[in-house]
Homo-oligomer: A and B are copies of this chain.
């Protein structure tokens, strides 16, 4: 346990048969269980539309744990103990009956424990169900104790600023803001959490962390997969809504926010919101100069063919939905005056990699004749977990010759135990009522404000500057053009144990 005493907890998952539950939530909760992080009394109530027995459903979940848990196959004894806490409710989210059944389960759990437990309601459902589920929880007073009851909502939080505001207002009438946990699993990732430690527990970086010393910052999240089975959702969303509005802008906040006065949820959320509200909002005319979009055509990734996006299942044949975005943002505050933040993300790229690169400026005066690569700090989020600082060093030998090398801290070399998955950290946080890593309504709205001019411009000109790129290649040339005045490349992680100019081209 993290140290706080946990009360008996009932975790309800809406969307029990979905991929998220199967691949992420149950393995995470199971790992919390075997790590003794769950309260001794807990219940896992899973709700979905399709019929199933408790027994069959448990076996289906076991399959997910065996396949997707970071700890490998489940231990038979432990799983048996764990699975007795799981029950399945077959029910339509649209019908109040379903929630009446749920109430029964919750009540009997409380009765068993002789106290009212913590309740966590996880919305692992399509966005269209958020309102009706909330309404039913509200009507039946299942989630009305502000200090004990919490809902967890997955993105997308609306599809634009208006719908986001509407959703926030709707939820706000039924729950206190403190009960609403808007989850962005990127924020639960180990290296992302470590950015907070790295920035605020180390005094040497703070003096450098501003426009005087930083030239630009790149935040890149590359995926090698195509849209796969998610074409229906994705085609009405696109990379800007699916990735930039949440994951990448959240990373931006963590990298660029002011230091909170204490490590305390509201202070951190205040600092992040303040940062998000200072991101420059583009005028319509500025959008096409600062934001590049692309869509993949047929190609190969890892020797496997990927069809053109327009030929993917449930995607419209003339779709102009972007599967790639590279954007340059500015933050209009004292710290970041004039420093561009490049955010890039895309699907069907050559490999999966998430990297934050902080490119420092060149020295204003050089005393060595060699070409000097300015310092660069790279924080690799996945698949490698690593922090490294690129610096110039003398090449051993009889001449004063310089070369860019890197000093690094590699998680794998230093920690032998497997590292908790983001969902483990985040679910435990919800159980403990710690909202530090979750998004507040005002921050979500601020993020929508940033992307709205882009969405509007693309809506108005659906085909203008829509760049096509072959699946398995690093993004449209226009994305490289965007960074060119600042950097030769989008950076990726340097190759280990090789002293090479670390200017690998990626994205």
Enumerate chain A interface residues (CB-CB to B < 8 A): 2-3, 35, 37, 190, 193-194, 196-198, 200-204, 206-208, 212-213, 259-263, 360-363, 365-370, 372, 374-375, 385, 387-389, 391-394, 396-400, 402, 405-409, 411, 413-415, 417, 419-420, 424-425, 428, 497-499
Contacts and interface: CB of A to CB of B under 8 A. Distances in A.
Contact of A396 (B392, B393, B399, B419): B419
A407 B405 contact: no
A421 to B, nearest CB: 10
Nearest to A405: B409
A366 B203 CA distance: 10
Given A37-B398, A193-B400, A393-B194, A202 B424 contact: no
A479 to B, nearest CB: 27
Contacts of A408: 407-409
Nearest to A429: B398
Nearest to A374: B203
25 contacts: A2-B399, A190-B394, A193-B394, A196-B400, A197-B394, A197-B402, A198-B392, A200-B368, A201-B367, A201-B368, A204-B208, A204-B375, A207-B207, A259-B367, A261-B365, A385-B396, A387-B393, A389-B407, A391-B409, A396-B411, A396-B415, A396-B417, A398-B425, A406-B409, A408-B409
A422 to B, nearest CB: 11
B367 A260 contact: yes
A370 to B, nearest CB: 8
Contacts of A206: 363
Given A363-B203, A393-B194, A368 B398 contact: no
B391 A420 contact: no
A392 B197 contact: yes
A197 B393 contact: yes
Nearest to A496: B413
A435 to B, nearest CB: 14
Nearest to A192: B394
Contacts of A366: 201
Copies held by the complex? 2
Nearest to A206: B363
A367 B203 contact: no
A400 B204 contact: no
Contacts of A499: 414-415
Contacts of A497: 413-414
Nearest to A200: B367
Most chain B beta-carbon contacts within 10 A, residue among A201, A374, A405: A201
Closest A-B pairs by Cβ, 9 of them = A201-B392, A407-B409, A203-B363, A197-B394, A194-B394, A396-B419, A204-B375, A407-B407, A263-B367
Contacts of A420: 396-398
Given A368-B197, A389-B389, A413-B497, A361 B394 contact: no
Given A367-B262, A398-B424, A198 B393 contact: yes
Contacts of A385: 396
A389 B394 CA distance: 17
Nearest to A386: B407
Contacts of A261: 365, 367
A259 B363 CA distance: 12
B393 A407 contact: no
Contacts of A193: 394, 400
A203 B407 CA distance: 16
Nearest to A411: B396
Contact of A372 (B201, B374, B394, B424): B201
